[in-house]
């Protein structure tokens, strides 16, 4: 029991750690430095505003220095012409170099400031990069069909709102056009634009529906679905970020941790139970399916379904409701088994472009926050977290040893050690049981083959045996054919005594 508790300490996360660090009561996120979306936006806007002010101050300072340098150069040029050309040229040499250096520095910094306020200067190389990233025709056709279907559903939904619906559709289309012209912006700037649009649209809907949160959330879900389906290709895993690099690092990390067993994580699930095994498979399927969705809300729905399958598996195993301490280790185990494609990109996409109200509260926000904790735990996983020494952990990571391998005997455990293997890994226990069944089937097959060969030999010898028996009988009881003369029935020499008398006609008097 103490060992189990000691292991649990390595992966235990206090529920207060999932909340925003500023104490607002909402769920935080590792991508937002432990803050919720609301506090992160406030902090981001504050830092950005300070950066803008600093850049303006730097630009004004450089402009004043340029004006002072220009005034000084004009004063030197108005000196009396009696000054010898050679000496005048010599005196202007150092100043000219200083002025050139200052001008170059000023030009570089002012250009940086202009780039900050007008990022369109990076548009050209971006277009060249995107031209080399043309999707295949099949993917384009599928995306076009899905986009058209979402647009049609969105228009049908807005018809029920009449005039407000037309205004919403007009604003959404204008926003999509605006965003299509901002493909050169960074991921944070794109996220800021989308979140600002969500906030403005939500405020307008609140005034229209007079504070009806359910109606506002219903409309906002449709707005998010329409906008993010149209913008998905340009905002998911943008080239201005290192999301793809993080995806590869996470994928390689999970592959290197293939040796981690369910017992090392103290997961309260027994996969030998058919219902538990089915829930585990469904959870893995749902977390993998997340990458195929386009809308952040649909990706969150996959995470929620995965988490509910995990809770169901724990409940069936423990025969009691699962706790939060049981859930996180099980979620880590599912992520390690599934190795979801583009995990970091999907987490960042949800973080940047999902409706913030879903991430701050509710079961979707809770499950998503736990998934972020699971991803962060996998990145920082060490021997202490698994109750292993650092030497053992490094040997397992390098592939020199495996917890499923019996290094003392130098071979895999035999089928007779099924209980020991079950304590190590239920998969190996199932494998041992299957090997025993195969061994029994093999012996039965050998007996069946012997019986079949014996039957084949009997069938081959049967005709000869029957032929020999028939010959013996014929030799013992030879067949004698007696000759017999048969006469015709109306022959002259036939004995007619046994024949009946002929019929005599009789006459009756009338």
Summarize pLDDT for 434-478 with one digit per residue, the tens: 898 999 999 999 999 999 999 999 999 999 999 999 888 888 888
pLDDT of 484 over the 90 cut: no
Q: How far is CA 179 from the centre of its chain?
A: 27
pLDDT class for 10, splitting at 50, 70, 90? very low
Cβ atoms < 10 Å from Cβ of 235: 21
Using 50, 70 and 90 to split pLDDT, how confident is the model at 306? very high
Distance CA 452, CA 455 (A): 5
More confident residue, 503 or 247: 247
* More reliable by pLDDT, 47 or 88: 47
Least confident of 14-18, 185-189, 269-273: 14-18
Predicted confidence at residue 67, as pLDDT, reads 77
The token pair at 148 is 């058209």
DSSP state of 126: H
Q: Tokens for 169, please give them.
A: 């559709």
Residue 179 falls in which region: left (phi positive, over 0), alpha (psi -120 to 50) or beta: alpha
pLDDT score recorded for residue 430:
78
Give pLDDT, residue 247.
Answer: 94
Most confident of 23-32, 85-94, 454-463: 454-463
Boundaries of every domain in the chain: 145-235, 247-398
pLDDT of residue 226: 94
- Going by C-beta distance under 8 Å and a sequence separation of 6 or more, which residues neighbour residue 284? 306, 334, 337, 338
How sure is the predictor about 206, in pLDDT bands with cuts at 50, 70 and 90? confident
Question: Average of pLDDT values for 353-380?
Answer: 89
- Output the pLDDT for position 481: 74
Say whether pTM exceeds 0.75: no
CATH of 145-235, one of 3.30.1490.20, 1.10.10.10, 3.40.50.620, 1.10.246.120: 1.10.246.120
Mean pLDDT of 81-103: 47
Query: Could you tell me the CATH superfamily of domain 247-398?
Result: VPS9 domain (1.20.1050.80)
Model pLDDT, residue 385:
86
pLDDT, tens only, 214-264: 888 899 999 999 999 999 998 998 888 899 999 999 999 999 999 998 988
Q: Given its phi and psi angles, is residue 16 left (phi above 0), alpha (psi -120 to 50 degrees) or beta?
A: alpha
- Give residue 90's pLDDT band: very low, low, confident or very high (50, 70, 90): very low
279 three-state secondary structure: helix
Per-residue confidence (pLDDT) for residue 456, from 0 to 100: 92
* pLDDT at residue 277, rounded to an integer: 92
Asked if pLDDT for residue 86 goes beyond 50, the answer is no
What's the rounded Cα separation, in Å, for the pair 321 and 314? Answer: 8
* Per-residue pLDDT at 419 exceeds 50: no
**Mean residue pLDDT across the chain:** 77
| pLDDT on residue 30 | 60
Q: Alpha-carbon distance 39 to 22, whole Å? A: 8
Give me the pLDDT at residue 399, please: 83
How many other C-beta atoms are found inside a 10 Å radius of the C-beta of residue 247? 20
Specify the higher pLDDT residue, 293 or 405. Answer: 293
State the CB neighbour count (10 A cutoff) for residue 360: 21
Identify the residue with better confidence: 333 or 477. 333
Question: Which of 432, 430, 398 minimizes the C-alpha distance to 415?
Answer: 432
């Amino acid at each position: 029991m103490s060992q189990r508790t000691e292991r649990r300490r390595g992966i235990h996360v206090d529920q207060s750690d999932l909340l925003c660090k500023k104490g607002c009561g909402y769920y935080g996120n590792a991508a937002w430095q432990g803050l919720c979306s609301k506090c992160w936006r406030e902090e981001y806007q504050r830092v950005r505003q300070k950066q803008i002010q600093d850049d303006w101050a730097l630009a004004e300072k450089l402009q004043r220095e340029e004006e002072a340098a220009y005034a000084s150069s004009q004063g030197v040029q108005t000196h009396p012409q009696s000054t010898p050309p050679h000496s005048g040229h010599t005196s202007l040499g150092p100043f000219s170099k200083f002025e050139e250096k200052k001008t170059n520095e000023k030009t570089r910094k002012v250009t940086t400031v202009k780039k900050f306020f007008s990022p369109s200067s990076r548009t050209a190389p971006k277009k060249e990069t995107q031209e080399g990233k043309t999707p295949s025709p099949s993917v384009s056709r599928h995306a076009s069909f899905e986009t058209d279907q979402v647009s049609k559903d969105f228009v049908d939904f807005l018809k029920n709102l009449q005039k407000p619906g037309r205004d919403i559709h007009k604003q959404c289309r204008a926003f999509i056009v605006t965003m299509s012209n901002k493909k050169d912006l960074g991921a944070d700037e794109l996220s800021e634009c989308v979140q600002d649009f969500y906030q403005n649209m939500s405020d307008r809907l609140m005034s229209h529906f007079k504070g009806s949160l359910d109606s506002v959330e219903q409309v906002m879900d449709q707005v998010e679905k329409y906008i993010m389906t149209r913008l998905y290709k340009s905002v998911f895993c943008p080239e201005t970020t290192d999301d793809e690099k993080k995806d590869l690092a996470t994928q390689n990390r999970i592959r290197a941790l293939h040796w981690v067993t369910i017992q090392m994580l103290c997961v309260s699930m027994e996969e030998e139970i058919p219902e538990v095994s089915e829930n585990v498979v469904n959870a893995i399927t749902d977390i993998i399916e997340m990458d195929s969705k386009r809308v952040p809300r649909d990706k969150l729905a996959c995470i929620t379904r995965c988490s509910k399958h995990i809770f169901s598996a724990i409940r069936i195993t423990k025969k009691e409701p699962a706790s939060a301490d049981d859930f996180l280790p099980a979620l880590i185990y599912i992520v390690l088994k599934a190795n979801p494609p583009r995990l970091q990109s999907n987490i960042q996409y949800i973080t940047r472009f999902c409706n913030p109200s879903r991430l701050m509260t509710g079961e979707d926000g809770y499950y998503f926050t736990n998934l972020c904790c699971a991803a962060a735990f996998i990145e920082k996983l060490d021997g202490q977290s698994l109750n292993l020494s650092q030497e053992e952990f490094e040997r397992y990571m390098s592939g020199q040893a495996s917890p499923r391998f019996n290094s003392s005997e130098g071979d895999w455990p035999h089928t007779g050690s099924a209980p020991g293997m079950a304590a190590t890994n239920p998969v190996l226990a199932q494998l041992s049981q299957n090997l025993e069944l195969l061994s029994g089937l093999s012996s039965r097959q050998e007996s069946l083959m012997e019986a079949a060969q014996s039957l084949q030999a009997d069938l081959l010898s049967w005709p000869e045996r029957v032929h020999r028996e028939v010959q013996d009988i014929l030799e013992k009881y030879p067949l004698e054919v007696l000759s017999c003369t048969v006469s015709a029935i109306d022959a002259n020499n036939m004995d007619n005594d046994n024949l009946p008398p002929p019929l005599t006609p009789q006459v009756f008097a009338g």
